[in-house]
């Protein structure tokens, strides 16, 4: 019996919409909770009653913080999905390929040599360094030709450690270690209206990534396969890496480095939806925003009234999930 392809495609669309709707609902619930968690008491009842002080806190701090988390979380998750698709390795992400560390080095260089430059100018330098760092990582992987899927991210982590050590050395020489700490650990506690709007750029880049989703899927199948299907492999890979480098650099400049989010969110999503980039991308963006929101809420409540940076919480949870994914892969290969 010949399967009805149109019915199967319709069923997949319905299933994708159902997963996206559930993800959107969860994001709304977690986002609403995030608005009313913090040291300063803000309640929906007092806002409705017209409390001016709580209204100021709500509009100046809570809403910008929520938007910043959603924008950066969804963008970093999509950046990880693009990298995993292009490299065909589910353990490759901006935090395991030296991309974030290279962006941080670029930001340090811009601060040391172009201290009077605008934030946008420093961000452009960070983007260039992130792009070069990611290119070096890919060149290393292609030259060494590893057959083990787990060795590739380990090479990226070692490469990132070398870049990070270089950054630490120059930051120490320039007495910028305290400033460097703000870039290497994401923290939304200082996010206020007027200080996060650059993140709208990564939101726009996420939309651009969706436009190129089908080409990323084809490019991930290999150069020969892409050429046979009429896709310019080099151009598609360059666009993908440009998106990843820009997103990583902007997030580092505005809120600091977010470890493992670009690895965890795509892996969780592809287990549920599959690995077609166009189908997975919206759900991955939702998952990244939800995971980062949950980590931020944990950081605000674990040691209340003190706050643990979300980068630290994400590092602990993401690192544990990373080890779990490696163990799961080893167990599956051994069977």
Q: Which of the four pLDDT bands, split at 50, 70 and 90, describes residue 258?
A: very high
The residue assigned the tokens 């600091």 is 256
Look at residue 15 in the predicted model and tell me its pLDDT: 79
User: Percent of the chain having pLDDT more than 90?
Assistant: 40
Cβ distance 226 to 219 under 8 Å? yes
Better-scored residue on pLDDT, 144 or 65: 65
Look at residue 47 in the predicted model and tell me its pLDDT: 86
Query: 37 — alpha (psi -120 to 50), left (phi > 0) or beta?
Result: beta
Q: b/e for 22-47, b at 16 or more Cβ within 10 A? A: ebeebbeebbeebbeebeeebeeeeb
d(C-alpha 255, C-alpha 155), whole Å: 26
Say whether pLDDT at 145 is over 80: no
Say whether pLDDT at 18 is over 90: no
Q: pLDDT tens-digit profile of 289-314?
A: 999 999 999 999 998 888 999 999 99
Cα distances (Å, whole numbers) of residue 163 to 103, 159, 180, 262:
10, 6, 13, 19
Say whether pLDDT at 2 is over 60: no
Q: Which of the four pLDDT bands, split at 50, 70 and 90, describes residue 4?
A: low
Better-scored residue on pLDDT, 95 or 28: 28
Q: pLDDT tens-digit profile of 148-204?
A: 777 888 888 999 999 999 999 999 998 988 888 888 888 888 888 888 888 999 999
Q: Is 3 helix (H, G, I), strand (E, B) or coil?
A: coil
Of 266, 277, 35, 296, the residue nearest 187 (C-alpha): 296
Residue range 198-213: mean pLDDT, rounded? 89
Cβ distance 293 to 31 under 8 Å? yes
If you average pLDDT over every residue of the chain, what do you get?
87
For the domain spanning 12-334, the CATH number is: 1.10.3470.10
Say whether pLDDT at 54 is over 70: yes
d(C-alpha 49, C-alpha 55), whole Å: 10
DSSP letters along 21-57, please? HHHHHHHHHHHHHHHT-SSS---HHHHHHT-HHHHHH
Of 86, 70, 128, 91, the residue nearest 245 (C-alpha): 128
Look at residue 7 in the predicted model and tell me its pLDDT: 72
Say whether pLDDT at 93 is over 70: yes
d(C-alpha 273, C-alpha 259), whole Å: 23
Look at residue 146 in the predicted model and tell me its pLDDT: 63
Q: Which of the four pLDDT bands, split at 50, 70 and 90, describes residue 96?
A: confident
Of 225, 251, 220, the residue nearest 237 (C-alpha): 220
Residue range 255-274: mean pLDDT, rounded? 88
Tell me the domain boundaries of the chain: 12-334
């Amino acid at each position: 019996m010949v399967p009805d392809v149109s019915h199967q495609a319709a069923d997949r669309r319905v299933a994708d919409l159902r997963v996206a709707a559930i993800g959107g609902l969860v994001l709304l619930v977690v986002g609403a909770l995030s608005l009313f968690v913090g040291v300063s008491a803000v309640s929906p009842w007092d806002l409705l009653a017209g409390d001016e002080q709580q209204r100021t806190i709500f509009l100046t701090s809570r809403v910008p913080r929520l938007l910043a988390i959603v924008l950066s979380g969804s963008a970093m998750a999509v950046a990880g999905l693009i990298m995993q698709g292009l490299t065909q390795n589910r353990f490759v992400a901006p935090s395991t390929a030296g991309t974030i560390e290279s962006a941080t080095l670029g930001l340090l260089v811009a601060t040391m040599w172009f201290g009077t430059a605008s934030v946008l100018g420093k961000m452009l330098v960070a983007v260039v360094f992130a792009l070069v760092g990611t290119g070096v990582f890919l060149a290393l992987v292609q030259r060494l030709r590893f057959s083990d899927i787990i060795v590739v991210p380990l090479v990226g982590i070692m490469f990132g450690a070398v870049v990070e050590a270089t950054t630490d050395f120059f930051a120490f020489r320039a007495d910028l270690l305290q400033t460097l700490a703000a870039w290497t650990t994401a923290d939304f506690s200082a996010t206020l209206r007027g200080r996060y709007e650059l993140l709208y750029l990564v939101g726009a880049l996420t939309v651009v990534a969706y436009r190129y989703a089908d080409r990323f899927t084809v490019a991930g199948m290999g150069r020969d396969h892409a050429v046979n299907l009429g896709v310019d492999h080099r151009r598609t890979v360059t666009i993908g890496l440009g998106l990843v480098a820009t997103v990583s650099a902007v997030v580092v400049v505005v809120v600091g480095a977010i470890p493992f989010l670009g690895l965890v969110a795509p892996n969780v999503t592809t287990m549920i939806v599959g690995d077609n980039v166009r189908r997975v991308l919206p759900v991955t963006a939702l998952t990244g925003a939800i995971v980062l929101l949950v980590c931020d809420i944990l950081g605000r409540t674990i040691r209340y009234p003190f706050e643990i940076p979300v980068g630290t919480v994400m590092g602990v949870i993401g690192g544990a999930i990373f080890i779990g994914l490696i163990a799961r892969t080893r167990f599956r290969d051994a069977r």
